[in-house]
Each structure stands twice: as C-alpha cells, then as structure tokens.
Chain A
Amino acid sequence: EAGVTQSPTHLIKTRGQQVTLRCSPISGHTSVYWYQQALGLGLQFLLWYDEGEERNRGNFPPRFSGRQFPNYSSELNVNALELEDSALYLCASKDRRTEKLFFGSGTQLSVL
C-alpha cells in the first residue's frame, strides 16, 4: 500500500513568489494535515482538511491557504513568499479509527 506522497521534494523560490505544494494521502484516509518545520524548530500546525472541508487552521497569515480535492488529495498554497517561509513542509494523513498520523517525506522550500 502506498504511503503519503508529497511533491515536489525540493523547491527554490524568491521573495514575493507563490508556491503550490501537493499531497496525496494514504488510500482510505480522508483527513490531511499540513505542518511547517523551520530548521531546528518543532512542527507548527498549519491546516487540517477533512472530507473536502477546512476544519482548522494554525496561527499563520492568510497568504497560507489550501484545499482538498474530492479524491482527498490536498494542496498548500503560499503567496507572497518571505524569507522566513523557508522550511520543511510536511503533509500527513490520518487514520480515522486510530487517529494516527502518517507523514509524507516533505517538501523542502527555500526562499532566497
């Protein structure tokens, strides 16, 4: 069974640009979580989608947004990139029964 997949694995952007990150959950999982992990720091909760709806978001500015598609895959969009957006962006899907999260290998975003 395929795990959570994320694309791209690495991305280099410049300040002010926009970026879209993609995530495909484990088959059968309807919940997708997004986290940001800056170098040397912990995972900061970004967004939670379930059944196509945004269920909760963390303390991030509105230029961080996303959506979930009918097949439960998800996109994270970041507009007007800033240097401090450089981080590893992790997507996870949740097993509804056990509440366990399963992570993709992440997208490393560098903003220059």
Chain B
Amino acid sequence: RKEVEQDPGPFNVPEGATVAFNCTYSNSASQSFFWYRQDCRKEPKLLMSVYSSGNEDGRFTAQLNRASQYISLLIRDSKLSDSATYLCVVNNYNQGGKLIFGQGTELSVKP
C-alpha cells in the first residue's frame, strides 16, 4: 500500500461546480498535512495547511479525519484558473520528518 494515495483523476468539471478531492495516508503517526497545487511542469506551490479542526481559505476548505486517516480538499465555485494538479502531502515524524507527496489529482475546469 502506498504511503499516501489520492483519488485518481482527472476530474473534469464546469465552471462554478464544487469539487472534492480525497487523500488517504497509511501511517497513523503522521502529524502534519498540506495541500499543494502544481501547474503543468512547474514547481508545486502551497495551497493550504490542513488543521485538525478543519480550515477554510476563501473557496477552499480542507479537512482532516485522523480516525479514518484521510484528508480532503473542497473547492467551491470552481474557476478556470483552478485547473491544475492537486497534491496532498503528509509529514511523518516517525520516519524522520520525510514529507511524502501523493501522486496528485488533476482538475480541469471547463467553461
């Protein structure tokens, strides 16, 4: 089983749609979580951290479910500019702080 697994993509949605991505992690000792965004062949950029209580940043909401070992990202009112690959990242201190990336979920928002 992979350490971090994401929903296989791509997700093709119309503008204005709400879309949700899930990411599961295998190591229950994982302690910090992030969502990154990567545009085609460019470097990943931090979208948001994921806090235990859940957090929101504008149209983006991130949630963590430790019991089920998954994190989620919800994007409301999708824009064309949201088209990108979304990567979840897990930091497991028990593995020496190795930051592990999921394989990414591609989102394509169409007019």
Contact = CB atoms under 8 A, between A and B. Distances in A.
Interface of A: 33, 35, 41-43, 45, 48, 50, 55-56, 58, 88, 90, 94, 98-106, 108
Interface in B14-45: 32, 34, 36, 41-45
Nearest to B44: A103
Interface of B: 32, 34, 36, 41-46, 49, 87, 89, 91, 95-104
A79 B45 CA distance: 29
Contacts of A90: 43-44
A101 B46 contact: yes
A103 B101 contact: no
7 contacts: A42-B101, A45-B101, A50-B97, A55-B97, A88-B41, A100-B49, A105-B42
Given A50-B97, A102-B46, 11 more contacts: A41-B103, A45-B99, A48-B96, A48-B97, A56-B97, A58-B98, A94-B99, A100-B34, A101-B34, A105-B42, A108-B41
